[in-house]
Structure 1
């Protein structure tokens, strides 16, 4: 469950430190007080979309930290260990920051992570049902995903989609091979010739570098020899040899240093210079012995360089791009050869089609009983939500194979007795859609392992007796997990185990949001406000206390 939430500089929140309780909690307050902002902050910590507008005015960044208990079961624990993000104290700490430019960072248990990792971990921790979830239920994609989630078949559905894509890829290759076999043959022949040309060239990047160095040395051999000879003569092979002069002066200064020690440092410098001059002389002699004019080798190197540059120029690439060009041609030739045999492709296609069919059949076998069970569950819930005699059906209709399987998923409803089932998108009024959508969300959440469920004004469009029933449904759901609901309905709030009041205050010319945990007296006042509006009477308070079950006995 969610233990705590720390929010700093988020929209109109300056700093909040919130401690959460188990069971069913209601978040209430005036419209615009910031109730949904708290859930937006939690959604950000869970990996939701971040943007610069979330940062409080004149602040550098928004910072949200959510602390959860590590759920029972090994799924999240194993994933955290795999990602090297262990939760040694039995808690999971999620943190998210957004700066004023819109850039964000994320952490799990103090370690920086990607947004994808944060979202993966969040799937085990909390599920937020947003204000517009009812309208999303009208989309076929949402209906299919909800059924697969209810059937715990998301993994199999993803496998079906992957096998369908593999099948379609091979099908496309086969059709291309059949339709353009002559053109493919010509391209294969050209590629094979070009690949042979580059392979025979035998270009090697290391060899190319050595060739250029050797070419530079041979091309300038005469100048190098002349310079080396001149330097050798000056150092030790001419009439006036620097090395001999330095050795003589070193001996002379050594004798003088024996007379006056003040010359010792000067003598040491001169001795070092003499040694280094001798080393330079020996090294230069070795270099000069290796240096020679070799017109034949120079011609060979120039021929090799010309051959490489001619090929590079021919194919309009830089010399160092030739290996990459060879790899590209080889990959293209491999692809063309793979598609050169329509008969083999047809066999591959048949195998891929069979693999898809097996996976799709397995998915259908899971979907059918799940659809029947969900239909019955939602139909039962409708009877208590002012739709007595109404029916709900998750209809599966056979269709052409697709990445979604071999059937379509459609939610159908008959809101009143005697009506025929029709698409939810076509027959449900606003109020009916709210009640059916709420029933779907609450009932499907019962089969979820997610320990924290949050409902953001999903009870909009209902009231009276139905609102009380919804409150009891949420309270029942809160018996074995943590449930929170942002609500404007006193009937729903009265069923909560705990309640917070969110309000706005003015501070230094700024509008800020604050949260107050309500005791029994505070809950009576808040429920009375929700019942009576501006004018709260003693009768209203009595009614609020009665709803909360706190009225004194008479």
Structure 2
């Protein structure tokens, strides 16, 4: 038999009451049972943490510094997961295996996917294609119209059509917003803005500022302001090089003469004399440059006044607009664009109105195409859910998907309402008006059963979806879960023996106290142990021959 996508192993360490446990899940329907408070939902909580839920240090087992969770997924068709990994710049799954790990300490949370560190958003993105989780109160999502529309579109495989519509709607909405912005500027305010921007732009452009000019102005101003000091330093430097009895030039000259005389005794002295000759030329050149440069640093009062005004101008502009010249010039470009925008407002409005009209036509065309496909899918979805509900005890129940036309919105041009008539002779009512949580839970299971045939999410998790049902209905719920388990892997927590008996794999969670510490454990049940657990669910802790026999019959009936 072809291998399925599935969660093969979940390992938990030091999480709440769990010391250390590892669960080997199987294909089909995996049921988890146990007494209230034993820690069944803790397993689902651990899985939620691996798929991006927020964590806090209170989850760490008392006395420990960290807790850890690891899940291993075996993927026969890893394309969806690999697409997510590729989008995130990560390597694809090797041999279809995906390992997600998370470690939580008092100060941090660290996550890994196939040994690569990742963020919580990565875990959430993977969770969207790996697991569909349904908790005790998640059936309330069925009452929201946005969730109902998502269900219809998923059933009808309308994702591409909806994405095409949304793309066109975003263009239309952007033009709508732009027109609204233009309309919100009154004429008096518009004139004030134009005058202010015009004045600011003129002030900066007339100043002819630039980063290069600012630096040159600063340097020249500083040099002229310190001209006397510069001249004195230059004379001192030049004097030390070439003037005076003890100048460098005189010392180098004496050294060169001495080396020339050494030549007759030490031939290498000729090279020394030559190098000293070069040093003499260098000293003379540097001295000349210093004297020339020092004498050039002078200016009349007009130049000094110009530089002082220029420096003051730069300071003023920085105080008024921005701390640096580059930021002032960026503002200048922004203001020019804004001024052009305001001065051409009427022309823009005419252009945008024309673009908006064209965008509305495209949006409506895409919306009508999406609506037509939704209408066809709505009939099929209603029939499919009705059939599932009849398997779940609503023999005369009817389900309806009603679509009403509306103006373009982000989700399309339809409003949706799920309707339900649980019994013969009752009128169709909106699903949100049904008070019974047991009824809502069965409707949710029917929806999941229908969608399971259309989606590629490998794992469905149900945490007490069978709450508030019992008797023959519980048996129907168990059979429906087992039926879905033929195409998907399911993990369900249940208190109902009828549902537990339908599992292809059965785990029991228990709690014990050792050395004054509480421990949660989980065990795979087979044969006698499974019969005893189902009997406990039927009649309590005190097992009798009657409850054991009943449990055995319940399990035997599900195998037929």
Above 0.5 in TM-score?
Answer: yes
Aligned equivalents of 2:533, 2:211: Cα separation in 1? 78
Aligned equivalents of 1:108, 1:469: Cα separation in 2? 39
Aligned equivalents of 2:365, 2:494: Cα separation in 1? 46
Greater Cα offset, 151-160 or 238-247: 238-247
Q: What's 2:299 paired with?
A: 295
Aligned equivalents of 1:551, 1:131: Cα separation in 2? 25
Q: What's 2:200 paired with?
A: 194
Q: What's 2:92 paired with?
A: 86
| Offset, 1:51 | 3.2
Q: Structure 1 residues 339 and 412, CA, compared in 2 at 3 Å: closer, same or farther?
A: farther
After TM superposition, list the pairs within 5 Å mapping 1:349-368 onto structure 2: 349-368=356-375
After TM superposition, list the pairs within 5 Å mapping 1:6-155 onto structure 2: 6-72=11-77, 74-82=79-87, 83-101=89-107, 103-155=108-160
- After TM superposition, the runs of 4+ consecutive aligned structure 1 residues lying more than 6 A away are 246-253, 275-282
Secondary structure of 1:124 counterpart: helix
Q: What's 1:394 paired with?
A: 401
Aligned equivalents of 2:137, 2:23: Cα separation in 1? 26
Aligned equivalents of 2:161, 2:102: Cα separation in 1? 32
Contact 2:401 2:419 in 1 (8 A): yes
Aligned equivalents of 1:280, 1:368: Cα separation in 2? 96
Q: What's 1:259 paired with?
A: none
Contact 2:78 2:96 in 1 (8 A): no
Q: Structure 1 residues 300 and 112, CA, compared in 2 at 3 Å: closer, same or farther?
A: farther
Asked if 1:417 corresponds to 2:424, the answer is: yes
1:522 to 484, 505, 529: 529
Secondary structure of 1:367 counterpart: helix
- Report Cα offsets for 1:199-221 as digits up to 9, x if no partner: 44343335434443443233223
| Offset, 1:366 | 2.6
2:328 to 303, 308, 322: 322
Asked if 1:503 corresponds to 2:514, the answer is: no
After TM superposition, list the pairs within 5 Å mapping 1:246-325 onto structure 2: 286-291=289-294, 292-295=296-299, 299-315=305-321, 319=325, 321-325=327-331
Greater Cα offset, 240-249 or 125-134: 240-249
Greater Cα offset, 470-479 or 178-187: 178-187
Contact 1:415 1:428 in 2 (8 A): no
Give structure 2 stretches of 5+ with no counterpart: 1-5, 262-277
Q: Structure 1 residues 14 and 121, CA, compared in 2 at 3 Å: closer, same or farther?
A: same
TM-score relative to the length of structure 2: 0.85
Asked if 1:171 corresponds to 2:176, the answer is: yes
Q: What's 1:237 paired with?
A: 243
Aligned equivalents of 1:276, 1:96: Cα separation in 2? 71
Contact 1:235 1:277 in 2 (8 A): no
Greater Cα offset, 398-407 or 484-493: 398-407
Asked if 1:460 corresponds to 2:467, the answer is: yes
| Offset, 1:393 | 0.7
Aligned equivalents of 2:256, 2:546: Cα separation in 1? 117
Q: What's 2:487 paired with?
A: 480
Greater Cα offset, 127-136 or 449-458: 127-136
| Offset, 1:392 | 0.8
Contact 2:252 2:279 in 1 (8 A): no
Aligned equivalents of 2:85, 2:279: Cα separation in 1? 63
Greater Cα offset, 474-483 or 321-330: 321-330
Aligned equivalents of 2:344, 2:504: Cα separation in 1? 65
Aligned equivalents of 1:107, 1:281: Cα separation in 2? 70
Q: What's 2:445 paired with?
A: 438
TM-score relative to the length of structure 1: 0.86
| Offset, 1:90 | 2.0
- Report Cα offsets for 1:479-507 as digits up to 9, x if no partner: 22211111111111111111111122334
Contact 2:453 2:487 in 1 (8 A): no
- Report Cα offsets for 1:301-334 as digits up to 9, x if no partner: 4443333333333447655531332243245345
Secondary structure of 1:295 counterpart: coil
Give structure 1 stretches of 5+ with no counterpart: 256-274
